Amino acid sequence: EADLESRLPLKGKKILITAGPTYEAIDPVRFIGNHSSGKMGFDIAQSAANLGASVLLVTGPTHFTIESNLVKVIRVVSAQEMYEACHLYFDDVDVVIAAAAVADYRPKNVASHKIKKNTAEYKIELEKTIDILASLGEIKKNQLLIGFALETENEIENAKLKIQKKNLDLIVLNSLQDKGAGFGKLTNKITFIDKNFVVEPMELKSKEAVADDILNKVIAHFYA
């Protein structure tokens, strides 16, 4: 019994994970997106399931799949759809890990027909998408809320601001400084910063190992 529990320390816990990019439509055939592969979020989902957690994985467009009875994959396209899926499940979960690279802006108007190249210039007006993680931070009760931060300058300071702005318990700061880390790569160099602003830099490691480090933080929260 105790042995089972130590091998499946997250059994009975429900974890909502966001992953991948979002695509924001310009017209029926074009979109604004980004280079997120979804790998980090899928690795987190796999680690969480390996530890016994029930996982809801809300993901933007990606080629990744996951085969586990403990993981339900919810595929979405836009930031708005990701927002709606997250809010559908939020009340019911114990932990949220927001690894998605959500588009910050979307076209204000989506053309209903394919745009023709009739003019020398074409301007697309953009409006902000909704901040999914901040919206969850506003309504959170007992949920442990973990976000990511991608920064290229004043990394620690900006990440601390995000903790406050989004009411997070922990942020995973992603450093692009290291050439082996980030988008399209197999490795990540992260720094944990908690809500008390305790800063913990980690070594460059595989995204699978980073996923395990993040889940260890979740385990520590429940066994503190």
Q: Which of residues 46-75 bind ligand CTP (CB under 6 A)?
A: none
Residues comprising the chain, all counted: 224
Residues 77, 130: Cα–Cα separation, whole Å: 14
Residue 181 binds ligand CTP (CB under 6 A): no
Number of residues this chain uses to bind ligand CTP (CB under 6 A): 15
34 is catalytic: yes
Nearest CA-CA partner of 98 in 58, 53, 68, 46: 58
Binding Ca ion (rule: CB under 5 A), the pick from 27, 81, 104, 194 is 104
Binding ligand CTP (rule: CB under 6 A), the pick from 102, 144, 210, 214 is 102
Binding part of the chain for ligand CTP, among 51-59, 131-139, 199-207, 212-220 by CB under 6 A, reads: 131-139
Binding ligand CTP (rule: CB under 6 A), the pick from 79, 93, 145, 163 is 79
Flag whether 13 is marked binding: no
Task: Collect all residues with Cβ–Cβ distance below 8 Å to 217 and sequence separation of at least 6.
Answer: 146, 170, 192
Flag whether 189 is marked binding: no
Q: What is the DSSP string of 162-219?
A: HHHHHT-SEEEEEE-SSTTBSTT-SEE-EEEEETT--EEE---EEHHHHHHHHHHHHH
Instruction: Return binding residues for CTP.
Output: 104, 114, 148, 162, 166
Question: Known catalytic residues?
Answer: 34
